[in-house]
Amino acid sequence: MSNKSGNESNSSSLGRPGGAIYIHIPFCKQACHYCDFHFSTSTKKKSQLVDMLCKELELRKDEIGQNIQTIYFGGGTPSLLNSEELNLIFKTIFTNFQVAENAEITLEANPDDLSEEVIKMLDASPVNRLSIGVQSFFEKDLKLMNRAHNSEEALQSLQLAKQYFDNISIDLIYGIPGQSNEQWIENLETALKLDIPHISSYALTVEPKTALEKFIEKGKVKPVEDEQYREQFDILVNTLTSKGFEHYEFSNYGKPGYHSQNNMAYWLGKPYLGIGPSAHSYDGTFRKWNISNNSLYINSIGAGKLPQQTEELSKTDSYNEFVMTRLRTKFGVSTEDIQEKFGEKYKVHFLKESEKFLEDGLMERTKNIFHITSKGKFLSDGIAADLFFID
């Protein structure tokens, strides 16, 4: 079994210093009914696009410090890359950036792509962490969501992946129409039986212009009641924390040593370089995002021009983002940090606005650090919004 580092056993509680590279692979076999990410179901331009990803990496090599701690292939479906394409991207990264020896290198994969041959190919590459899009082990859920895999492939891919990778995360979705609490518990128990060390779990949300939204409008699918989300979230937190997982961010649960360094980089406001159509970047002051169109991206990068828009974050934007992301994590919000990064005005605002949540038992305070309590966890985004500063 490969244990090519990438897990965080030697890192500090606030994650590793240094930057992150995100690579967006904008292709999928078929469109999941709930998905609003950027992807194309035609893979005709895949190899051309990979060439352009490499070119973008070269064009932007000076935008981020030369101490890359995490690399993340997201999508779309990165497991659609073949070994030549993946190796070309790695060669470009290692030629143009200094990557830490124990960097976490994650690739998102869908179960239907993970044959033993593909897993062996990934194991032989610098990838040291797999994030597998299982979503559910029930056939009816997978069909409703139009996932490309079936429940047998979900199980088989994990059994196989475990033979080669130690650092594995899976995605599981709750709040699926028609999903009972018993079925949700069974999904979690299946993951626990397989001894998966990291689970990312999201509520199924109905995004605008998705097939799921249309089905609900037409009455073909019954919308999920708030109660189902709430109950299944509670089941999720209680089940995983009772089995040794730390609930270290609203949607993320890890065994000790298996918290995602890539996610930490985002939440802790570290610089990241986003490569590929629709990818976002952040350097501490500016946020940039690439065009969400494969052909326009290819043409623009081919002509040596970055197809991106830029926004400078104001102090208030940065404060609001800081409060939102930190409240979702185990780190919480430190008023000392607010004072240092944003100044007295923001600290006074935070202290005043958080009072009602402290009184209601939705937040708690230990010295100068504020956390959401178990009672408030499900409401954390709403609580954060109430703490925002409005200019």
Q: Which of 15, 18, 19, 76 binds ligand SF4 (CB under 6 A)?
A: 76
The answer to whether 32 contacts ligand SF4 (rule: CB under 6 A) is yes
Q: Smallest distance from the beta carbon of 41 to ligand SF4, in angstroms?
A: 8
Instruction: Name the segment binding ligand SF4 (CB under 6 A); options: 31-39, 115-123, 161-169, 222-230.
Output: 31-39
Query: Closest Cα partner for 109 from 127, 131, 88?
Result: 131
Residue with Cβ nearer ligand SF4 (146 or 156) = 146
Judge contact between 323 and 346, C-beta under 8 A.
no
Q: Which of 6, 15, 19, 75 binds ligand SF4 (CB under 6 A)?
A: 75
Cα 152 to chain centroid, rounded: 25
Q: Within positions 107 to 146, which residues make up the interface with ligand SF4, using CB under 6 A?
A: 110, 133
Distance (Å, whole) CA 262 – CA 20: 7
Judge contact between 96 and 58, C-beta under 8 A.
yes
Distance (Å, whole) CA 293 – CA 391: 34
Q: Within positions 173 to 232, which residues make up the interface with ligand SF4, using CB under 6 A?
A: none
Q: Which of 28, 158, 273, 338 binds ligand SF4 (CB under 6 A)?
A: 28
Interior angle at CA 164, CA 163 and CA 169, nearest 5: 90
Query: Closest Cα partner for 323 from 307, 347, 294, 306?
Result: 347
Instruction: Name the segment binding ligand SF4 (CB under 6 A); options: 4-12, 34-42, 184-192, 247-255.
Output: 34-42
The answer to whether 39 contacts ligand SF4 (rule: CB under 6 A) is yes
Instruction: Name the segment binding ligand SF4 (CB under 6 A); options: 29-37, 225-233, 265-273, 287-295.
Output: 29-37
The answer to whether 64 contacts ligand SF4 (rule: CB under 6 A) is no
Residue with Cβ nearer ligand SF4 (75 or 332) = 75
Residue with Cβ nearer ligand SF4 (15 or 78) = 78
- Point out which residues bind ligand SF4 (CB under 6 A): 28, 31-32, 35, 37, 39, 75-77, 110, 133
